[in-house]
Structure 1
Amino acid sequence: MKNIAVIGAGITGITTAYALARRGYDVSVFDRNRYAAMETSFANGGQLSASNAEVWTRWGTIVKGLKWMLKSDAPLLVNPRPSWHKLSWMAEFMTNIPHYEANTIQTAKLAIEARSHLLEFAKEVGMEFDMEQRGILHVYKKQSEFDHARRVNTLLEKAGLDRREVSADEVQRLEPALRTKTLGGFYTESDFTGDIHQYTRALSTGCEKLGVKFHYKANVAKIHHTGKDIRIDWHSGAGDQQQHFDGIVVCAGVTSRSIAAELGDRVNIYPVKGYSITVNLDDVDSQAAAPWVSLLDDEAKIVTSRLGRRRFRIAGTAEFNGYNLDIRDDRIRPLREWCETFFPDVSTEHCVPWAGLRPMLPSMLPKVGPGSKPGVFYNTGHGHLGWTLSAATAQLVSDCVDAKRMQNAA
Structure 2
Amino acid sequence: MRSIAVIGAGITGITTAYALSERGYDVTVIDRQRYAAMETSFANGGQLSASNAEVWNSWSTVLKGIKWMFKADAPLLMNPKPSWHKYSWMAEFLANIPNYKANTIETTRLAIKARDYMFEMANREGIDFKLEKRGILHIYRDKLGYDAAARASELYAQGGLARRAVSPSEIRAIEPTLHGNYYGGFFTESDSTGDIHLFTRGLADACRRHGVTFVNEASVDSVKHSVSAGKPRVDIALTLAASSDEAQPVHETMSFDGVVVCAGVGSRALAAQFGDRVNIYPVKGYSITVMLDDEASQNAAPWVSLLDDQTKIVTSRLGKDRFRIAGTAEFNGENRDIRADRIAPLVNWTRKLFPGVSTARAVPWAGLRPMMPNLMPRVGAGKLPGVFYNTGHGHLGWTLSAATAQMIAEKIATDMPVEKPSAQIFRLAAE
Instruction: Choose 173-182 or 382-391, whichever is displaced more.
Output: 173-182
SS at match of 1:45: coil
Correspondence for 2:45: 45
SS at match of 2:400: helix
Correspondence for 2:135: 135
In the TM superposition, what whole-angstrom CA distance separates every residue of 1:257-286 from its partner, at most 9, and x where no partner exists?
Answer: 000001110000000000000000011100
Report if the CA contact (8 A) 2:25-2:418 is conserved.
no
Correspondence for 1:292: 303
Q: CA deviation at 1:343?
A: 0.5
Correspondence for 2:18: 18
Report if the CA contact (8 A) 2:24-2:418 is conserved.
no
Correspondence for 2:113: 113
CA–CA distance in structure 1, aligned partners of residues 359 and 307 of structure 2: 19
Would the alpha carbon gap of residues 361 and 408 (structure 1) be closer, same or farther in structure 2, given more than 3 Å must change? Answer: farther
Correspondence for 2:181: 181
* 2:122 equivalent to 1:122: yes
CA–CA distance in structure 2, aligned partners of residues 233 and 212 of structure 1: 20
Name structure 1 gaps, 5 residues minimum: none
Segments ≥4 residues shifted beyond 6 Å: none
* 2:337 equivalent to 1:342: no
Correspondence for 1:354: 365
Q: Within 5 A, what are the aligned runs for 1:278-317?
A: 278-317=289-328
Correspondence for 1:198: 198
Q: CA deviation at 1:408?
A: 9.2
CA–CA distance in structure 2, aligned partners of residues 298 and 366 of structure 1: 24
In the TM superposition, what whole-angstrom CA distance separates every residue of 1:59-118 from its partner, at most 9, and x where no partner exists?
Answer: 011111111111000000011111000010000000000000000000000000100100
Q: CA deviation at 1:132?
A: 0.5
Residue 321 of structure 1, aligned match among 323, 329, 332: 332
* 2:280 equivalent to 1:276: no
Q: Within 5 A, what are the aligned runs for 1:141-180?
A: 141-180=141-180
Would the alpha carbon gap of residues 119 and 130 (structure 1) be closer, same or farther in structure 2, given more than 3 Å must change? Answer: same
CA–CA distance in structure 1, aligned partners of residues 14 and 6 of structure 2: 8
SS at match of 1:226: strand
CA–CA distance in structure 1, aligned partners of residues 415 and 361 of structure 2: 51
Name structure 2 gaps, 5 residues minimum: 244-249, 421-431
The residue type paired with residue 291 of structure 1 is P
Report if the CA contact (8 A) 2:7-2:259 is conserved.
yes
Correspondence for 2:238: 234
* 2:226 equivalent to 1:222: no
In the TM superposition, what whole-angstrom CA distance separates every residue of 1:361-403 from its partner, at most 9, and x where no partner exists?
Answer: 0000000010000000000000000010000000000000000
CA–CA distance in structure 2, aligned partners of residues 269 and 222 of structure 1: 19
In the TM superposition, what whole-angstrom CA distance separates every residue of 1:4-35 from its partner, at most 9, and x where no partner exists?
Answer: 00000000000000010011110000000010
Kindly tell me the number of residue pairs found equivalent between the two proteins.
409
In the TM superposition, what whole-angstrom CA distance separates every residue of 1:111-140 from its partner, at most 9, and x where no partner exists?
Answer: 001001001110111110111000000011
CA–CA distance in structure 1, aligned partners of residues 360 and 83 of structure 2: 39
In the TM superposition, what whole-angstrom CA distance separates every residue of 1:183-234 from its partner, at most 9, and x where no partner exists?
Answer: 1110001000000000000000000001000000001111100123101111
Using structure 2 for the length normalisation, give the TM-score: 0.94
CA–CA distance in structure 1, aligned partners of residues 297 and 112 of structure 2: 33
SS at match of 1:27: strand
Q: CA deviation at 1:406?
A: 3.9
CA–CA distance in structure 1, aligned partners of residues 301 and 189 of structure 2: 19
Instruction: Choose 1-10 or 110-119, whichever is displaced more.
Output: 1-10
Correspondence for 1:247: 258
Correspondence for 1:54: 54
Correspondence for 1:388: 399
CA–CA distance in structure 2, aligned partners of residues 41 and 314 of structure 1: 15
The residue type paired with residue 6 of structure 2 is V
CA–CA distance in structure 1, aligned partners of residues 317 and 221 of structure 2: 40
CA–CA distance in structure 2, aligned partners of residues 106 and 393 of structure 1: 12
